[in-house]
Structure 1
Amino acid sequence: MRTIISALLALLALAMTAAGLASTWVDENFVQESGFVALAAPLADDAGFQAELSDALVEEVTGSVGLPEQLDAVVEPLIRDAAGAVTRSAAYPATWTETLELSHALTFARAPDPSEPAPAILVLDLGPVVHLVTDSVGGGLGLEIPVPSDTTVGIGSIERGGLLSGIADVVQPWRLYLVAAAVLALLAVVIARRRGTTLALLGLGVAGIGLLGLLARHWVPSLAGQTPGTNAIADVFLTGLATRAGADIASASLPVIVGGLVALVVGLVLQVAFGPRRRA
């Protein structure tokens, strides 16, 4: 009976550990504005990402400003050159950070009323970047280039306000999840007949959780690729963000693997040193 209870407590401890670690990452890197900005800000220095974003931005701006066809043919190459120059300018990192802050605020805006259409999961507001591009082009031509009336880009199609507010409520008590996991693990070891073996198995389970996180470098971008965006900009941003998120989760998983392996070794040593010995 003790063995069964110990095994159940160990399984609950591992489940709470996985929930606590996942909640910790989501809260610190997605729900908290500072974490979201820190996660996505390095994309401003990613030449490949910025090249793709620049191309997508050109299509978005030229397709929505409503210029006459004759003028559009002249302005489009200028916008393309300006977009490339802007993403390489000294002012761009601050503009990109402002874009991320606005996007985070919109993403976690209030839940819509039942009569309102469901907004996107994640909303990217490119207003600061679009203004920087159009001001650059307009200053060179000596005329005012109209800015699209809506510079937001939706990613996904399920309700953002209610859903993400619910996610925030679930992940923010991550400290309680980890404390509960520690208590359950301790009870599992105390109740077990073979405490060293139980500790070793708990360590093996924690290392397994860390290994799953290590594989996030591959499965997070793959999962993001299956989420439909509204246009090319949405796809480019989601891919870039998912790549950053997968790499960050993988990096954060290394200490988890090490901790699990340490618990595994300690458990095995304790079992060998203090476990029941067979009579000769």
Structure 2
Amino acid sequence: MRTFVSAIAVILGVLLSAVAVPAIWLDRNIMQEDGFVALAAPLGKDEVFQHRLAAAAVGTIDTSAAPEALAGMVKPVLEALARSLSGLPGYPAAWEETLRKSHRLSIADPRTLPPEADSTTSLTLDVAPLVALGVQEISKTSGLPLAAPDQTLISIGQSSQRQLIERVAAYAPMGYSLAIAAGAAFALALVAARRRWAVIFSAGVAGLLLAGLWTAGSQLAGDAVLGAASGNEVADMFKNEFVGAASNNFRSWILATAITGGALLVAGIVIRVVSPGHGRATR
């Protein structure tokens, strides 16, 4: 009976862990604003992405308020700004604020989104902070009376992906409770086991199997996201870069799980060899 209870507890712990770890990763790195910003911030250092994003942001600047006599000056100024925007001192802060505003739009309740935002897309980039930086620079260097917009939105994804974000928002916070339950299940397995080395060995094998499962699952998820083209070059570039950054980040979690699993597997074998009677029930 003790062996049966231990085996069931191990299986339950593995199943709970399989769901808990991805959920916790999603909550910390996608659903929480600070985690999202930390994950996506390095994208702003990519030179090609910087220049294309700057060009897209500058291209949205409304110059209609400029006097007609200065109209010929506007285009060269905008072209020069598109090339230099990412080098301005305020660019890092503007990029971070762009990510924060975009995150709030992406996972907000659709009823709270502005009318011009597509409430069904999975991610909406609001590059208004970058546009404001550009407007400020133009006004400072040329004296043109330009106003910065409150929002400059770039939609990413397809219509079905808003529903996916909502499901993730409901699922991700459950990871912490599931992780606690998984820990309790493994503890029960150890307490009930006649051969505790077998529980440790099984947990190690499970860790290696879960690492393989998560590797395959993350690859499938990444391919699904990348396969949904938005038709916007800047949006697709952001999506491609972000998926790569997310995959690399989760891969470190997978590696940690694999190392832990391997260590437990070896520990179980060593305990069995060194102490053949380890874990036997006392009568």
**TM-score normalised to structure 2 length:** 0.78
Whole-Å separation in 1 of the counterparts to 2:218 and 2:83: 29
Whether contact under 8 Å (2:204, 2:264) holds in the other structure is yes
Cα shift at 1:82: 0.7
Distance 1:142 1:185, change over 3 A: same
Q: Say whether residues 1:26 and 2:26 are aligned partners.
A: yes
Distance 1:72 1:244, change over 3 A: farther
Cα shift at 1:193: 5.3
Equivalent in the alignment of 2:281:
none
Cα shift at 1:220: 6.0
Equivalent in the alignment of 2:13:
13
Cα shift at 1:210: 3.2
Equivalent in the alignment of 2:108:
109
Whether contact under 8 Å (1:203, 1:263) holds in the other structure is yes
Distance 1:75 1:210, change over 3 A: farther
Distance 1:81 1:205, change over 3 A: farther
SS at structure 2 position matched to 1:153: strand
Whole-Å separation in 2 of the counterparts to 1:8 and 1:252: 26
Aligned counterparts, 1:59-74, within 5 A: 60-61=59-60
SS at structure 2 position matched to 1:124: strand
Q: Say whether residues 1:99 and 2:98 are aligned partners.
A: yes
Q: Answer with 15-24 or 47-56: which moved more.
A: 47-56
Aligned counterparts, 1:154-233, within 5 A: 154-158=155-159, 163-192=164-193, 194-211=195-212, 213=214, 221-233=222-234
Whether contact under 8 Å (1:203, 1:260) holds in the other structure is yes
Equivalent in the alignment of 2:261:
260
- Amino acid paired to 2:84: A
**TM-score normalised to structure 1 length:** 0.79
Cα shift at 1:73: 8.6
Whole-Å separation in 1 of the counterparts to 2:72 and 2:261: 61
Equivalent in the alignment of 1:88:
87
Q: Deviations over 1:115-142 (max 9, x none)?
A: x974211111011112222443455454
Cα shift at 1:25: 1.1
Whole-Å separation in 2 of the counterparts to 1:132 and 1:54: 10
SS at structure 1 position matched to 2:27: helix
| Residues paired across the two proteins, number | 271
Whether contact under 8 Å (2:50, 2:86) holds in the other structure is yes
RMSD of aligned residue pairs (Cα, Å): 3.6
Q: Say whether residues 1:40 and 2:40 are aligned partners.
A: yes
Distance 1:72 1:199, change over 3 A: farther
SS at structure 2 position matched to 1:154: strand
Whether contact under 8 Å (2:63, 2:74) holds in the other structure is no
SS at structure 1 position matched to 2:120: coil
Q: Answer with 215-224 or 226-235: which moved more.
A: 215-224
Whether contact under 8 Å (1:61, 1:147) holds in the other structure is no
- Amino acid paired to 2:244: T
Whole-Å separation in 1 of the counterparts to 2:192 and 2:208: 22
- Amino acid paired to 1:24: I
Q: Answer with 22-31 or 140-149: which moved more.
A: 140-149
Cα shift at 1:206: 1.1
Whole-Å separation in 2 of the counterparts to 1:90 and 1:263: 49
Q: Answer with 135-144 or 85-94: which moved more.
A: 135-144
Whole-Å separation in 1 of the counterparts to 2:22 and 2:178: 10
Cα shift at 1:8: 4.2
Distance 1:232 1:74, change over 3 A: farther
Structure 1: gaps spanning 5 or more residues? none
Cα shift at 1:232: 1.6
